[in-house]
Amino acid sequence: MTVAPASDLAGSAASVPRHVAIIMDGNGRWAKARRLPRMAGHKAGMESVRAVVRAAPDLGIDVLTLYAFSSENWKRPQEEVGFLFGLLKTYLHAEIAELDAKDVRIRVIGQWRLLPADLVKLIEGAIDRTRNNEGLTLVLALNYGSRDELVRAARACIADGLSDDEVTEEAIEARLDTAGLPAPDLIVRTSGEERLSNFLMWQSAYAEFVFTSTLWPDFGAEELAKACETFAARERRYGGL
Ligand code: FPP
């Protein structure tokens, strides 16, 4: 293995967040401000998803993770949950050809296999079709919760028969849904809320956070670029001096 000289690491490439993860929040408030039903906010939110996915590769981002449905979102009215699943189907149907053509690889984290069967089938198809792509990795967090992910990883350690000293950070990491992905460098949350809400708790140990008051449907390429600029100005020390 060759080690890059320090001068290479200090260049502009080092200030680009390789992995950006977004907590897309504020669809409901966006709709309310326009006296529209909440669903209109989610629909507009899907357009923001399209915009950031298209913009990410140009910004030098390798991995983009979107918190699209949390394990807690089941508590919402059934009609809204169904609508969100419908939007995901619409998105995958409409975008899969373009995503594939643009070399985007789709990955999904969370207990997505517990989603409705037709959506599961669509997701499987999208993962399969884009499996060998080498451009942007688009990670959709679906029926995802960090605590649940950690419990599943702990159980997998037991199921794999690991002894107590074999239960290391690496062993746990290898059993997380995000295994093989770089840790997020930058976590963005829209709508003025400043919480992690059970998102990538393990993986965000050294992430930078950018909170913006912009509601998700108003977020786009420009705001993503701005968040990356904010990231570039931060000094990351990973616990050192
Ligand atoms: C939070 O806004 C948003 C969600 C729970 C869902 C996010 C879903 C999308 C952006 C649409 C589809 C996604 C994909 C990947 C195609 P909120 O409803 O909690 O807003 P509020 O806090 O203002 O009520």
Is 7 a member of any domain? no
Mean local confidence (pLDDT), 193-200: 98
Is 151 a member of any domain? no
205-225 residue pLDDT tens: 999 999 999 999 999 999 999
Find the domain containing 223 and state its range.
Answer: 19-145+186-232
Number of folded domains in the chain? 1
Within 8 A by CB and 6+ apart from 83, the residues are 39, 42
Decide which of 11 and 117 is more confident.
Answer: 117
Q: What is the CA radius of gyration of the chain?
A: 18
Out of 22, 23, 24, 88, give the residue to mutate to test ligand 1, the one with the largest number of ligand atoms within 8 Å of its CB.
24
Of residues 69, 75, 102, the one with CA closest to residue 88: 69
Q: How confident is the model at residue 14 (pLDDT cuts 50, 70, 90)?
A: low
Residue 165 DSSP symbol: G
Q: What's the confidence (pLDDT) of residue 235? A: 81
Quote the CA–CA distance of 199 and 204 in Å, as a whole number. 9
**For residue 118, what is the domain's CATH number?**
3.40.1180.10
Rounded alpha-carbon distances, angstroms, from residue 1 to 4, 10, 186: 10, 19, 27
Mean local confidence (pLDDT), 143-170: 98
Q: Which residues line ligand 1 (CB under 6 A)?
A: 24-29, 42, 45-46, 49, 66, 68, 73, 84, 87-88, 91, 140, 191, 216
Is 50 a member of any domain? yes
Query: What's the CA-to-centroid distance between 42 and ligand 1, angstroms?
Result: 5
Ligand 1, residue 66: give the atom nearest the CA. Answer: 15
88-108 residue pLDDT tens: 999 999 999 999 999 999 999
pLDDT higher than threshold 50 for residue 10:
no
One of 8, 27, 58, 73 is an active-site residue; which one?
73
Is 98 a member of any domain? yes
Residue 210 DSSP symbol: E
Is 4 a member of any domain? no
Q: Is 111 exposed, middle or buried (CB count within 10 Å of its CB: 0-12, 13-18, 19+)?
A: middle
Which amino acid is it at 219?
F
Q: Is 218 a catalytic residue?
A: no
pLDDT higher than threshold 70 for residue 5:
no
How many other CB atoms are there within 10 angstroms of residue 40's CB atom? 17
Q: How confident is the model at residue 6 (pLDDT cuts 50, 70, 90)?
A: very low
Compute the mean pLDDT over every residue in the chain, rounded to the nearest whole number. 94
Is 150 a member of any domain? no
Is 117 a member of any domain? yes
52-79 residue pLDDT tens: 999 999 999 999 999 999 999 999 999 9
Is 160 a member of any domain? no
Q: What's the confidence (pLDDT) of residue 151? A: 98
Q: What's the confidence (pLDDT) of residue 205? A: 97
One of 25, 27, 143, 177 is an active-site residue; which one?
25
The pTM (predicted TM-score) of the whole model is 0.93
Ligand 1, residue 29: give the atom nearest the CA. Answer: 23
Q: Is 25 a catalytic residue?
A: yes
- Is the separation of the CB atoms in 55 and 221 below 8 Å? yes
Query: What's the CA-to-centroid distance between 69 and ligand 1, angstroms?
Result: 8
Largest CA distance in the chain: 59
Query: What's the CA-to-centroid distance between 24 and ligand 1, angstroms?
Result: 6
Element (H, E) at 211: strand 208-211
User: The tokens of 93 are what?
Assistant: 């149907």
pLDDT higher than threshold 70 for residue 164:
yes
- Is the separation of the CB atoms in 216 and 194 below 8 Å? no
